[in-house]
Chain A
Amino acid sequence: MKFNSIEFLIFLGVTFFVLWSVKRNLKVFNILLLIISYVFYAWWDYRFLFLIIFSSLIDYTVGYWIPKSQHKKALIGISLSVNLGLLMFFKYANFFIESFQDLLHQLNLQANYQTLSIILPVGISFYTFQTLSYSLDVYKGKIKPEKNLVAFLNYVSFFPQLVAGPIERATTFLPQFSRERIYNYPQAVAGLRLLLYGFFKKMVIADNIGIQVDAVYQNYDTNNGFSLYVASALFFVQLYADFSAYTDIARGVAKLLGFELVKNFKTPLFAKSFPEFWSRWHISLTNWFRDYLFIWLAGLNKKSSLWRIISTIILFVVIGFWHGANYTFIIFGLIHGLGFIPRILSRNNKQIRKALSFLNEHKVASIFSMLGTYSILSLTAVLFRSPNITTATAIFRSITQDFGSTLNQGLLSVLPIALGILTFEWITRDKKHPFYVENLHPYVRRTLYVVMIILILLYGYFGKEPFYYFQF
């Protein structure tokens, strides 16, 4: 069930009233919430429901036994092997088969391995990391094991964030299932506001830009470099509007049900450097990898800058690979990892530190840093958007060798939409949350809601466009 569907709105309405009608009985509330989450997931593909239940039960059991067991490492090994094994199988098996086959061909060896006919379970990259973080935190002694199975199952499968995050942590999210449920009007209103903003960003901005970007990318051989570059720059706006819309809707739904989810974005398109970009983009994923991979990796040789650079590059290659089984994502991650080198070097070099702080803090220089960062991000967007390396190479060739001066008319038509969202985000960049309108006069605020609803109805895309991150 997609968020941007009538079925979901009906589902949400029913869920809201059903759950709050049993607010006095936490046990019943949690059981109903679990059933609702499983129904939501089964709507995509009921077969994979067993997978998520299986993953959850493994981590619940591992978490339960870790404090009591002498074989903690073996137990965490089971959790890692099962979870990452399932992820590897469903997401990466064909990639490895094909890559191995290619390697054998390069070595002039005969190989004929059949790729597997595998469907990627929706949300597997997200819930796997969420359930894993629980086991890892129990293993590290950061949290105590959760005894309440229903609460734990809810933690893994909470439907608003099940399919595309944000990836929650047991430390902050799991306790919410044990708290008394108190209906809170301001929280519910904030939730509805986020829902409205999310639907607006997805249906009016992301999808309309996406149609034009898709048209250019599908005909990349007939578009000049200028159009391809602008399409790539717009793609980043589309991706941001799309993914942050999902997060807003997820957070909004959670608020309506009395839960709080972490923020996943902080106006990333205005980042002045790659490190800043990653501290603002898909924050829950970056933090996950930082806490569970990078800190361990970098800690192997804390004094060496070179090792820190290598660790960072490994980290971003893994983040790239997390997005999909494709070399394009690996190179995307590699380039982003390289973007951290100046900051790493600045730790031991005063001049670089000074230069970076000038680029970040000087009024004019910071604008150029922002534009420069966005320009390079747009180039890396080619890798993110292209279906394979061959297409990406052809697009880079067009951008460098056949730039041209005419811009695709379709792209021109959606430029105002992109500029509109960027302007709004710029104005509200320092506010508490992305759609900060609480300070407006109630009449102005209500008028704004009405205008947004009308714009969604008149210009929203009601086709079959799923959220972009669903494919990961």
Chain B
Amino acid sequence: MKRLVLNTIPYVLIIVCYGLVGEYFLFENKESYSIDRVTTLQQESETETYYCREILGNSLSNYKFQMLKKKQPTGVMVLGQSVTLQFRDFMFEPYQDDFYNTGLMARNVKDLNYVMDLIDQGDLNKPKLILLGVDISFFLEHTILDSVEWTRNYPEDRAISSKSHLKGIQRIFLNSKYRSTPTTNYGFGRAGMSGRGYRSDGSYRHKPDIERYLRDSTYNDGALITYLKNRTAPFIEPFLFSEQKKLQYFEFLERVEAMDIELILYVPPYSDVYFNQAIQDTMFNAYWKQFMGVQQELTTLGFNVIPFTTPSKIGLTDHYMVDAEHPGEVMCAMQLQRAIQQKRLEGDIIQSLTFSMVNEYGKLEYVIPISFMNDPIDQLLVKQTQKKV
């Protein structure tokens, strides 16, 4: 047996060396920091930090849920998909320190109800105000987002999964990009270290888009229109509106109201470039009419709705969008502030929002359409450019 062990050792050593080298790069890129550790460090940090892994994957609903449980906001909670990720804490002053944006944690109505269950059970604090994104995916008859309960059955943290580590190490060895460590150290995970990712308030910093704008003031609509034309995700046929899911959504809204939580329903915008083309598409158009029917019904029922718009309809340009479907933070803040100023949103908490920080940041010289540029690391970028809106 000794002979077998001795003869096997060289092969085992190859595997061990491979693993150690890979783990070194994962550690250097702060990819192997567990979600538990990241959320603790983010909460404790006095400066803004970002979380986004590039090699191992984010296990996002896990991360968001752990952070939510640690933050336990009693002020404002943002719920919804990626379109809500630009709502930031300072937009909800005076509740900026009692805020969390859970964007991309709850992906379907079951998830939303689960969050309410946790509040009911006392596992989560009851927030005074919820801003909820009214995403078109909530009413789709068939969507992959319904396949899992993302919050209740959140994915395993990939930093503690041996298979994810093995896959990550493969990437490191096959792609030299991952073998170079970021020169900056602004957060956790390879992207987080370079300043792209989820802030401690749950919102997302679009680093490449900010840098692109600073570089050449251009706007990139992305590939959403191509997805629509090719009927690829998220436009997989049959792209049908579900009355049943609408009913479930409305039941959820009633539940929130019954819990005495103020509610703002945010119908996210599309870029003009995208929307003008998409509306010509028969499949999209048919769905859109029904979706707008929901918006109308919500308004009629007296819910606080920030209605659908495109940038041009509110006097902006597509430059205020990150891409075809994601509004930038400046546009989000403007939509929210205007809706309150125009008395379209009711509620004590809503009326108590002061927007003084938004106004202050808005006056800054270097605000760009998709960012207030108020993160500490934005100042470095600001110094490199003279561009302003």
Chain A interface residues (CB < 8 Å from chain B): 5-6, 20, 183, 185, 188-189, 192, 449-450, 453-454, 457-460, 462-464
> Which stretch from B143-151, B162-170, B324-332 is at the chain A interface?
B162-170
B162 touches A453 (CB 8 A): no
Instruction: Say if the beta carbon of B24 comes within 8 Å of chain A.
Output: no
Instruction: Say if the beta carbon of B380 comes within 8 Å of chain A.
Output: no
The winner among B3, B11, B162, B169 for most chain A CB atoms within 10 A is B11
B15 touches A457 (CB 8 A): yes
Report how far A192 CA is from B3 CA in the complex, Å: 13
B14 touches A453 (CB 8 A): yes
Chain B interface residues (CB < 8 Å from chain A): 1, 3-4, 7-8, 11, 14-15, 18, 162-163, 166-167, 169-170, 173-174
Name the A residues within 8 Å of B8 (CB-CB). Answer: 192
B14 touches A188 (CB 8 A): no
Name the A residues within 8 Å of B14 (CB-CB). Answer: 450, 453-454
Taking a contact as CB atoms closer than 8 A, the residue among B1, B162, B163, B174 that contacts A458 in the complex is B174
| Number of residue pairs spanning A and B whose beta carbons lie under 8 angstroms apart | 40
Shortest Cβ distance from B19 into A: residue: A457
B170 touches A462 (CB 8 A): yes
Shortest Cβ distance from B22 into A: residue: A457
* A-B residue pairs, 9 tightest by C-beta: A462-B166, A6-B162, A462-B163, A462-B167, A188-B4, A457-B18, A453-B14, A458-B173, A185-B3
Shortest Cβ distance from A6 into B: residue: B162
- By DSSP majority rule, is chain A's interface helix, strand, loop, or mixed? helix
Given contacts A6-B162, A450-B14, contact A463 B3 (CB under 8 A): no
Q: How far is the CB of B272 from chain A (nearest CB, A)?
A: 31
Give 12 A-B contacts (CB < 8 Å), ordered by A residue: A5-B163, A185-B4, A189-B7, A450-B11, A453-B14, A453-B15, A454-B14, A454-B18, A458-B170, A458-B174, A462-B163, A462-B166
Kindly list 14 other residue pairs between chains A and B, CB separation below 8 angstroms, not including A185-B3, A457-B18: A20-B1, A183-B1, A188-B4, A189-B4, A192-B4, A450-B14, A453-B14, A453-B15, A457-B169, A457-B173, A458-B174, A462-B166, A462-B170, A464-B163
Q: How far is the CB of A165 from chain B (nearest CB, A)?
A: 26
Name the B residues within 8 Å of A457 (CB-CB). Answer: 15, 18, 166, 169-170, 173
Shortest Cβ distance from A256 into B: residue: B4
Name the A residues within 8 Å of B170 (CB-CB). Answer: 457-460, 462
Q: How far is the CB of A253 from chain B (nearest CB, A)?
A: 14
Report how far A362 CA is from B171 CA in the complex, Å: 49
Report how far A188 CA is from B170 CA in the complex, Å: 30
Report how far A384 CA is from B169 CA in the complex, Å: 35
Name the B residues within 8 Å of A464 (CB-CB). Answer: 163
Name the B residues within 8 Å of A20 (CB-CB). Answer: 1
Name the B residues within 8 Å of A188 (CB-CB). Answer: 1, 4
Name the A residues within 8 Å of B1 (CB-CB). Answer: 20, 183, 188
Q: How far is the CB of A392 from chain B (nearest CB, A)?
A: 22
Q: How far is the CB of A241 from chain B (nearest CB, A)?
A: 20
Name the B residues within 8 Å of A449 (CB-CB). Answer: 11
Taking a contact as CB atoms closer than 8 A, the residue among B7, B11, B163 that contacts A453 in the complex is B11
Name the B residues within 8 Å of A460 (CB-CB). Answer: 170
Name the B residues within 8 Å of A192 (CB-CB). Answer: 4, 8
Report how far A192 CA is from B8 CA in the complex, Å: 9
Q: How far is the CB of A323 from chain B (nearest CB, A)?
A: 27
Report how far A458 CA is from B170 CA in the complex, Å: 5
Name the A residues within 8 Å of B3 (CB-CB). Answer: 185
Q: How far is the CB of B180 from chain A (nearest CB, A)?
A: 19
Name the A residues within 8 Å of B173 (CB-CB). Answer: 457-458
Q: How far is the CB of B3 from chain A (nearest CB, A)?
A: 6
Name the B residues within 8 Å of A462 (CB-CB). Answer: 163, 166-167, 170
Report how far A458 CA is from B171 CA in the complex, Å: 8
Name the A residues within 8 Å of B4 (CB-CB). Answer: 185, 188-189, 192
Name the B residues within 8 Å of A183 (CB-CB). Answer: 1
Shortest Cβ distance from A461 into B: residue: B167
Q: How far is the CB of B280 from chain A (nearest CB, A)?
A: 23
Shortest Cβ distance from B231 into A: residue: A222
Name the B residues within 8 Å of A454 (CB-CB). Answer: 14, 18
Shortest Cβ distance from A21 into B: residue: B1
Report how far A458 CA is from B174 CA in the complex, Å: 7
Q: How far is the CB of B118 from chain A (nearest CB, A)?
A: 28
Name the B residues within 8 Å of A453 (CB-CB). Answer: 11, 14-15
Q: How far is the CB of A218 from chain B (nearest CB, A)?
A: 12
Report how far A458 CA is from B169 CA in the complex, Å: 8
Name the A residues within 8 Å of B15 (CB-CB). Answer: 453, 457
Report how far A211 CA is from B170 CA in the complex, Å: 17
Report how far A457 CA is from B11 CA in the complex, Å: 12
Report how far A20 CA is from B1 CA in the complex, Å: 9
Given contacts A20-B1, A183-B1, A458-B174, contact A463 B11 (CB under 8 A): no
A463 touches B167 (CB 8 A): yes
Name the A residues within 8 Å of B7 (CB-CB). Answer: 189
Report how far A209 CA is from B170 CA in the complex, Å: 18
